[in-house]
Amino acid sequence: MKKIVLASKNSDKVKEMRLILSSLPTEILSLADFGDLPDAVEDGLTFEANALIKARFFCRHTGLACLADDSGLEVDVLGGLPGVHSARFAGYHADDATNNQKLLDELKRVGVDESAADYRCALAFVDTDGTELLTEGRIDGKIKVIPQGSGGFGYDPYFYIDDCRTMAQLSTNDKNSISHRGKALKEMVLKLKEKFS
């Protein structure tokens, strides 16, 4: 059976990805299955570049096919920030709470309580045979300063998909059906099924 490594140390992201990838005829591993691996240097200027950097890096280090994502939040009033720096918006070792606080501070600094925003995800699959596949997903919404919901992770409690619901209020299945990552993963599943057939 083909093995694919999910090139992420974020357990919430791995859980989300495994659920959607479960229809593939593959064994899905994560970086946690490999002990202490070095970190890939994500110095790309786009989500796509960072996803490819991670997938190539961990394909080399594990000797297996790798699937990596780079995703983040782009807030219009902040000129697209935090963008590719979403996971480390408040610093390299920031967690969800400090990143969310930094986001709220930035919105306050520009004097707004809400802004149009989008979540973006780029997925890169790199195989040991040299195959490289890319997919993307996006969901438009709004960032508001009042959090709602306790599900999800990252900026989900502040990302409103409509006037009254955030990503953090959705069930896992509902979130996966509309999210940026869910859209990119579904497209990747189609490409991988074709590759493995």
Residues with a catalytic annotation lie at 70
**Beta-bridge partners for 119:** 73, 139
Q: What is the pairing mode between strands 2-6 and 114-126?
A: unpaired
Comparing C-alpha atoms, which of 39, 7, 33 is closest to residue 21? Answer: 7
Instruction: Tell me 177's DSSP state.
Output: H
Alpha-carbon torsion (168, 172, 174, 175), positive or negative = positive
Question: What does 23-41 look like in DSSP terms, one character per residue?
Answer: TSSEEEEEGGGG-SPPPP-
Peptide bond into 82 cis (omega under 30): yes
